[in-house]
Amino acid sequence: MGKALLVTYDFFDEIEVYYSYYRLREMGFETRIASVEMRSMKSKGGCMSVEPEILVSDALDERWDLVVFPGGYAPDKLRRYGEVLELARDTLRGGGVVVSICHAAWIIVSAGLAQGRKLTGSRGVWDDVRNAGGIVVDEPFVEDGGVVSTRTYRDFPKFWPKLEGYLKEKGILKG
């Protein structure tokens, strides 16, 4: 069983967090939710919350096969924490996969991982990706050097099956 970490913060996108969490579990990942604070995180719509199980700073001590950054407004806050950026870089260096959903491309940019890399995300982050030297691709599934990205939750019907196939191809998922 692979290990997946879903990283979020206040004002997360409800669909992107909850759908991702349960989809990862369906794929057989031991899945944990992390944040930079141990408290209830509120969704951007204010109608849902999520409880982190581990601090990002503590997650740095573990090896993750997959780290998922859902969107909403949370990535704009998360990218200000060095341990979040370090987690993204360490995951890639360790042979894991980093998933960026919607506005989470901001984390890839702030971690210094966009330069020369194909990425996608919400149209609201495209200029930031380009300004960081990234190559914007308007597709539901984009993979480049272990960074996998998607535009929004609307792409999930195409994105998740392709991600599952990619993870099997890399040997992270069995079957």
Annotated active-site residue in 23, 77, 103, 151 = 103
Domains of the chain: 3-169 (3.40.50.880)
7, 17, 99, 102: the active-site residue: 102
pLDDT digits (tens, 9 = 90+) for 86-123: 999 999 999 999 999 999 999 999 999 999 999 999 99
Confirm whether 102 is a catalytic residue: yes
What pLDDT, in 10s, does the model give residues 148-170? 999 999 999 999 999 999 999 99
pLDDT at 22 over 90: yes
pLDDT of residue 103: 98
Q: pLDDT value at position 1?
A: 83
- Is 170 annotated as catalytic? no
Q: In sequence order, which residues have a C-beta less than 8 Å from that of residue 76 and are 6 or more positions away? A: 103, 106
Query: Closest Cα partner for 99 from 122, 74, 121, 68?
Result: 68
